Amino acid sequence: MLKALAVVCVRNEAVHMRRCLRDLIGDGIDVFLIDNDSTDGSTEIASEFLGHGLLGIERIPWTGAFSLSDQLRAKRRIIADADHDWIVHTDADEWLCSPVEGQSLLDGIREADAAGYTCINFHEIVFVPLPGDDFLADDYASRMSTYYFFQPVYPRLNRAWKRTADIDSSRSSGHRLAGDGLRLYPQDFFLRHYIALSEGHARSKYVGRKFSDEDCPSSEHLAQLAA
């Protein structure tokens, strides 16, 4: 039976942890968590899911600056040791969904695999609060309804792929894959991105964020925050 593993890296994402893990595990996806020295209880919340779909938690040290490169290297280490058939690359503030109503993410991946495809692209739907809105609660996903479609290029978010295929996931910040083994499934899936839950949440998450010397914000990320 086909198995899929989601590798999630977090730092201070307590508000998203239960929703993220509940939805992935509920959709049949195993999860491995990489924690970047969270200080808000993210790890403690995640620990509730150990043995119930969460396979493990690994710590990477916080250096005082956001390092996407460190996170991607940690994810590749986990993937290299995995025995799952498919890999899912996602973040805590994202919710990856099949386009078929009532179909789990795992069943959607199984259909793509059975048809001979090795990669799935996701359309990004970005949910945002309006001025004065505050969705900082566990039920934010059921209450937020303001969103925009973000797709500066296509295909853009190749977030699920067959582990044994000849596919390179090290480029484009892990968004766009390459390789001779890449066969893109013609049916796009959906990625619901809860980029901020209130004005205050957006400020605390992004204003003043320091990036590592190895990384700098891509033009794509800057465009998304400015949209």
Give the domain ranges of the chain: 4-226
pLDDT at 219 (0 to 100): 44
Q: Are strands 94-97 and 86-90 parallel, antiparallel or unpaired?
A: unpaired
Alpha-carbon distance of 49 to 25, in angstroms, equals 9
Q: Are 53 and 25 in contact (CB under 8 A)?
A: yes
The pLDDT > 90 percentage for the chain reads 79
Which residues lie closer than 8 Å to 187 by C-beta, 6 or more apart?
99, 112
pLDDT at 68 (0 to 100): 84
Alpha-carbon distance of 30 to 183, in angstroms, equals 23
Q: Are strands 94-97 and 189-194 parallel, antiparallel or unpaired?
A: antiparallel
Half-sphere exposure of 164 (CA within 13 A, CB side): 8
Average pLDDT, integer, range 95-100? 98
Fold classification of 4-226 is Spore Coat Polysaccharide Biosynthesis Protein SpsA; Chain A (3.90.550)
Amino acid at 30: D
Average pLDDT, integer, range 129-152? 96
Q: Is 76 helix (H, G, I), strand (E, B) or coil?
A: helix
pLDDT at 165 (0 to 100): 95
Average pLDDT, integer, range 168-191? 87
Given a cut of 70, whether residue 157 has pLDDT beyond it is yes
Half-sphere exposure of 22 (CA within 13 A, CB side): 9
pLDDT at 172 (0 to 100): 62
Given a cut of 80, whether residue 77 has pLDDT beyond it is yes
The pLDDT > 70 percentage for the chain reads 92
Given a cut of 60, whether residue 72 has pLDDT beyond it is yes
Q: Token pair 């899936």 is at which residue?
A: 189
Reported pTM = 0.90
DSSP state of 117: -
Given a cut of 50, whether residue 222 has pLDDT beyond it is no
DSSP state of 212: P
Given a cut of 60, whether residue 227 has pLDDT beyond it is no
Average pLDDT, integer, range 112-128? 98
Q: Are 166 and 180 in contact (CB under 8 A)?
A: yes
Query: Pick from 8, 44, 1: which is nearest to 25 by CA?
Result: 8
